[in-house]
Amino acid sequence: MTTDRTVTAPIDPAGTATIVADIAIVGGGLAGSLAASVLARAGHRVALVDKRAVHPDEFRVEKIGGQQLGMFRKLGFLHALENVACRYDQVLNIREGKVVDVSVGQAYGLPYADLVAMARSQLPDPSSLIVDEVTAVKCNDDIQHVELASGRRLDARLVVLATGMAGVLGYKLGIRRRVLAERHSVSFGFTIARRDGARFDFEALTCYGERTADGIDYLSLFPVPAGMRANLFMFRDPTDPIMRELRREAGATILRLLPGLRPYLGDFHVTDRVQNWVMDLTVVEGHLQPGVVLIGDAFQTNCPAAGTGVARLLMDVDRLCTEHAPRWLTTAGMGTEKIAQFYSDPDKVAADQRSLNMARFRQALTSRNDIGWDVRRRLHFLRRSLTHRVDQMHPGWLGRVRGALRA
């Protein structure tokens, strides 16, 4: 394994700059930037290619919590995350205006662009980021050739496609995306504040949908540096007129769909533009090829409501960048027998399947109105409520909840 952290750029006989690296990562969003930093910090020569020097404001991942934090810690990013995000430790969960339970656990809120910037800031050498656009990738069992719009070429032993749902490069390689569920879910993101300038009477809050006909899974409210961020997740036809109402009058429409939320928000308003995202559930086919591997959304998309997208992404980064790729680089060649090891990795396969299963479960729990799912829905919230009541018997519980409501 090489310990040279620099990306060299010799000149080929034709006079065109050729950049040489161990691993070329195409796509500088969260998956690509995390992967590049993990590999570069381990001493590999890495070239991260993205057409933007600064990632734009984009409605994607905006909160990190639960088991995701354990993976951020393992990969060495937790301290950097803490420095740029807003921490919160309690989430008040409500349905039909009543408290279901209180989630206690460390979590962070921040804009996606800041999350990507944090990941890129961990690159030991900032010049590892190449601001350019990849026009073609030519792969084989040995050295991969990446053509850039500037006319330069990038040669690497392995190419990692972290291009999200932009599938043009994959399509040129014969990789196709198969749709499992078209327009599976719709997500909205916006920031709110009280009109009187006061803080909300909760640290963070989740409000679950009240009627299956509305198709609302839940509304999540959590702090970010700009204020209180709102993420709304729905399973509903994106052409429904309610979508236009949410974009134009998000505050009033939210209260009409979730009337039990009103006492918790008081007199509030939306402080920025409403962003929304329609997500298909997809997987790729034809991806087992020499010299190239797909991670994150480039391999499989997720249901945002299920909250499994970041977990899948982190699993891909962990297994590829700390286990498989470093081992592949110690021997000659980069054939499909090596690439297949990543795609068949038991932890990766389990994370991918868990993500699809949770997507289908959240949609059914939210939208199915047959008697079987109605019973399951009632039991789901009843179990949580009963657990919540048992927790109240703990001496410190009441103080924690009162503190959350006063915070």
Full pLDDT tens readout for the chain, 407 residues: 333 444 444 434 444 578 999 999 999 999 999 999 999 999 999 999 999 999 998 999 999 999 999 999 999 999 999 999 999 999 999 999 999 999 999 999 999 999 999 999 999 999 999 999 999 999 999 999 999 999 999 999 999 999 998 889 999 999 999 999 999 999 999 999 999 999 999 999 999 999 999 999 999 999 999 999 999 999 999 999 999 999 999 999 999 999 999 999 999 999 999 999 999 999 999 999 999 999 999 999 999 999 899 999 999 999 999 999 999 999 999 999 999 999 999 999 999 999 999 999 999 999 998 898 888 888 888 877 776 554 444 444 445 444 544 44
Alpha-carbon distance values, 281 to 114, 186, 290, 344, 366 (Å):
26, 12, 26, 20, 17
Residue 404, pLDDT score: 45
User: In this structure, which long-range contacts are made by residues 221-225, counting pairs with CB atoms below 8 Å and at least 24 apart in sequence?
Assistant: 221/192, 222/62, 222/63, 222/86, 222/88, 222/91, 222/107, 222/109, 223/86, 223/88, 223/109, 224/62, 224/85, 224/86, 224/109, 224/110, 224/111, 224/191, 225/85, 225/86, 225/110, 225/111, 225/114
Q: Are residues 260 and 329 in the same domain?
A: no
Q: Is residue 251 located within the same domain as residue 186? A: yes
Q: Does residue 171 sit in the same domain as residue 201?
A: no
| Cβ atoms of 332 and 290 closer than 8 Å | no
48 inside domain: yes
Q: Do 170 and 240 lie in a common domain?
A: no
Look at residue 83 in the predicted model and tell me its pLDDT: 96
d(CA 258, CA 255): 5
**The predicted structure's pLDDT at residue 319:** 98
**pTM, entire model:** 0.90
Same domain, 166 and 211: no
- For tokens 């905006």, the residue is 62
Same domain assignment for residues 131 and 80: yes
* Within a domain: 334: yes
Per the domain annotation, does 6 fall within a domain? no
Residues 214 and 159 in one domain: no
203 and 328 share one domain: no
Q: Is residue 12 part of a domain?
A: no
Distances (CA, A) of 123 to 45, 61, 173: 11, 21, 29
Largest pairwise CA distance in the chain: 77
Cα–Cα nearest to 314, from 340, 287, 296: 296
The CATH number of residue 238's host domain is 3.30.9
- Asked, for residue 60, whether it belongs to a domain, the answer is yes
Say yes or no: 242 and 355 in one domain. Answer: no
Answer yes or no: are the C-beta atoms of 35 and 295 closer than 8 Å: yes
Query: With b meaning 16 or more CB within 10 Å and e meaning fewer, what string describes 87-105?
Result: ebbbbbbbbeeeebbbbee
Is 348 part of a structural domain of the chain? yes
Distance CA 28, CA 35 (A): 9
Residues 119 and 104 in one domain: no
Same domain for 261 and 193: yes
Would 11 be classed as within a structural domain?
Answer: no
> 């909300």: which residue's tokens?
200
Is 13 within a domain? no
Q: How many domains does the chain have?
A: 2
CATH of the domain at 322: 3.50.50.60
List the domain range (segments joined by +) for residue 222. Answer: 88-108+182-278+369-406
Q: How many helices and strands, by DSSP H and E, does the chain display? A: 14, 16
Same domain, 337 and 228: no
DSSP 209-228: -S-GGGTEEEEEEEEETTEE
The SS3 call for residue 14 is coil
